[in-house]
Amino acid sequence: MININQEKCIGCEECVKDCFPKDLVMKDEKAQATNITCIKCGHCIAICPVNAVSMTDYDMADVKEYDAKTFNIPSETLLNFIKFRRAVRRFKDKPIEKEKIEHIIEAGRFTPTGSNRQPVSYIVVQNDIPKLTGLALESLNQLGKNVVFKLYASRWMKMYEEFLANPELPTSLFFKAAAIVLVVSDSPIDGGLAASSMELMTHAEGLGMFYSGFFVRAAMKNPKIKEFLGIEDTKEVIACLVMGYPDVSYQRTTPRKKAEISWR
């Protein structure tokens, strides 16, 4: 619920003009919330010049005043950061601090979602990586018997055979990762956007990671994996971030195909 402090409100109408759902109105030269069509996006909180707006549903301690020194990133620096990131599969035998994982999840939590539904949750797997590996490889082994997946079939089945032969050894599913962070949602777009923000934060924290498309495929509509992870039937694993401290150093960016752009 949106609350507007009527004593603080100066009637500038900025929040009313910026309210996309048209939930805010002017009354007696003050802004007021009807709390009927509000999607709790928080634009009114962010735009108010006198900090007169609050929201009862969320923790207002999350709100930070804008500071150019700590909020702004030069565009070329950001672009270089994106260009330099790499998928890392070589990890040190070193645990990841809980605070860093929580910081990475914060990046996902503050990523925009459609209609501000925020339908994204996160599962952190550390102690149960061997169990999760077994379930995933069992699933991939079964999928490998389907001709639809012939590109990866032999690889999946070999991975499963190697795991069964020695379950204690790292596999090429998660390698020597210290943590697996799963992004769960009923919306592929919302989950994918959150994962993208989390990837950048992972590298900013000095960690390395790669997206495991193999695991996402293994978990898709798989009752064993969903039950083990406590995932609701209506949701799926949208992204699997496999992470750890990198045991590799890269010296430069790599090239990409030219962008296909159509100007209209």
pLDDT over 70, % of the chain: 100
The phi, psi pair for 246, rounded to 5°, reads -65, 140
3-class DSSP state for residue 125?
Answer: strand
Residue span(s) of the chain under CATH 3.30.70.20 come to 2-62
Domain 2-62: top CATH class:
alpha beta
Please tell me what DSSP assigns to residue 230. Answer: T
Residue span(s) of the chain under CATH 3.40.109.10 come to 86-244
Sign of the C-alpha dihedral computed for residues 194, 196, 202 and 204 taken in this order:
negative
Of all helices (H) and strands (E), which one includes residue 82? helix 75-84
> What pLDDT score does 149 carry?
77
Convert 44-83 to b/e letters by CB count within 10 Å (16 or more is b): bbeebeeebbbbeeeeeeeeeeeeeeeeeeeeeeeeeeee
> What pLDDT score does 53 carry?
98
pTM exceeds 0.85 for this model: yes
> What pLDDT score does 36 carry?
98
> What pLDDT score does 57 carry?
93
Please tell me what DSSP assigns to residue 148. Answer: G
> What's the pLDDT tens digit per position in 114-141?
999 999 999 999 999 999 999 999 999 9
> What pLDDT score does 221 carry?
87
What rounded mean pLDDT belongs to the chain?
Answer: 96
Of all helices (H) and strands (E), which one includes residue 163? helix 150-165
Whether the per-residue pLDDT at 204 is higher than 80: the answer is yes
Residue pointed to by tokens 């709100």 = 63
> What pLDDT score does 116 carry?
97
- Residue range 48-54: mean pLDDT, rounded: 98
Architecture category of domain 86-244 in CATH: 3-Layer(aba) Sandwich (3.40)
> What's the pLDDT tens digit per position in 208-251?
999 999 999 999 989 999 999 999 999 999 999 999 999 999 99
- Residue range 164-179: mean pLDDT, rounded: 95
